[in-house]
Amino acid sequence: MKSRILYTKPSITELEVRYATDAAANGWGDKCYEYINKFEDLFKQHLGVQYAIATSSCTGALHMGMAALGIGPGDEVIMADTNWIATASPIVNLGAKPVFVDILSDSWCIDPEKAEAAITPNTKAIVAVHLYGNLCDMDRLLAIGKKYGIPVIEDAAEAIGSVYHGKRAGSMGKFGSFSFHGTKTLTTGEGGMFVTNDADLFERVLTLSNHGRARGQTKQFWPDLIGFKYKMSNLQAAIGCAQLERIHDLIARKREILAFYRERLNGLSCISLNPEPLGIENGAWMPTVVFSNESSITREKLQIAFAEENADARVFFWPLSGLSIFPAVRSNHHAWDIPSRAINLPSYHDISEEDLARVAAVVISLV
């Protein structure tokens, strides 16, 4: 049996272990927020934003941010049909409706024209999800948001390390959200971050994140409104601080892995990989191959070939509107079509060159 190739695995060094050990031994009492505060500060510096709130997940960050924008029953939020459920569930949980629009065939991110066409008087936000590290067309989306007075939210869970014309993913919208789930480029096990440059929005989310207790409230145990409890623990933040000290290496390795696949596979005319157009750096969270329609190579063929090599193959996100929990939007052509001829490639930091070559060889063998 060939050795198994995992598709993701966190990169954990002695530094993470040292900080986590210190937090477990000493991070209590008056030190119980030390790593959290440090993690938020380092993250703000890395991203170039003014405000950050560490959370227990990206889903939690989105939920609070959307609640703070006043999204509620009767409202609509426009997002790409191609996505993980985590971006849609806070919308539904707030009583609003996710409106799924198609993606672009090259970036696999939301099609700005389709987003604009979906705007109604009930539209309260557009969510830009930078899929697999690929960047949305932020100039177009922000222009549309401005034209209609609708905030653009950036779900940058998959895009730490992605840079759009000098600006980091997550720093351009009304607010941004990040995930530090174990599969992501930077991990705290579970965890997330809310970021914004909007002082009022920050105050509202800070209050919501603290069970509705405002910073200025002098009475103890006195919530002014119903909030949330989506906090990150000091232990998780300790691991996050170590990961942030290594962030440039973590991103560089992801990009190196994508470059390896590009070098091996880009010569094949029937496939495309994560794009990196001029002015853009792709954080390369998840290298992905999409085969052309003419190739007749399907997800099922790919899954069988990867299984034979004992390599994990992760399917491209199903269209959310294809799930039984939402009405189908079959006119979202690319979102429904691309997953049937695509696969995510293994890309964890410590993967060996030999295993990368094995993965590339599986793809090449199918052509």
Ligand X SMILES: *Cc1c(COP(=O)(O)O)cnc(C)c1O
Site of interaction with ligand X (CB under 6 A): 57-59, 84, 86-87, 129, 155, 157-158, 179, 181, 192
Which is nearer to ligand X, 96 or 305 (by Cβ)? Answer: 96
Find where tokens 């895009």 sit.
159
Q: Least distance in Å: CB of 233 to ligand X?
A: 14
Long-range contacts of 107-110 (CB under 8 A, 24+ apart): 107/131, 107/134, 107/135, 107/136, 107/137, 107/275, 108/82, 108/132, 108/134, 108/288, 108/290, 108/334, 108/338, 109/80, 109/134, 109/135, 109/136, 109/137, 110/78, 110/79, 110/80, 110/136, 110/141
Q: Least distance in Å: CB of 190 to ligand X?
A: 6
Q: Least distance in Å: CB of 276 to ligand X?
A: 19
Which is nearer to ligand X, 241 or 360 (by Cβ)? Answer: 241
Q: Least distance in Å: CB of 329 to ligand X?
A: 19
Read off the tokens for 180.
């530090």
Which is nearer to ligand X, 54 or 351 (by Cβ)? Answer: 54
Contact 96, 78 (CB under 8 A): no
Q: Least distance in Å: CB of 59 to ligand X?
A: 3
Gap between the Cα atoms of 220 and 199, Å rounded: 24
248 burial via Cβ count (<10 Å: 0-12, 13-18, 19+): exposed
Which is nearer to ligand X, 177 or 234 (by Cβ)? Answer: 177
Q: Least distance in Å: CB of 194 to ligand X?
A: 12
Which is nearer to ligand X, 213 or 287 (by Cβ)? Answer: 287
Among the listed residues 240, 221, 255, the one whose alpha carbon sits nearest the alpha carbon of residue 347? 255
The DSSP output letter for 56 is S
Among the listed residues 278, 289, 333, the one whose alpha carbon sits nearest the alpha carbon of residue 314? 289
Q: Least distance in Å: CB of 183 to ligand X?
A: 7
Helix (H, G, I), strand (E, B) or coil at 87: helix
Which is nearer to ligand X, 47 or 129 (by Cβ)? Answer: 129
Which is nearer to ligand X, 83 or 234 (by Cβ)? Answer: 83
The DSSP output letter for 82 is B
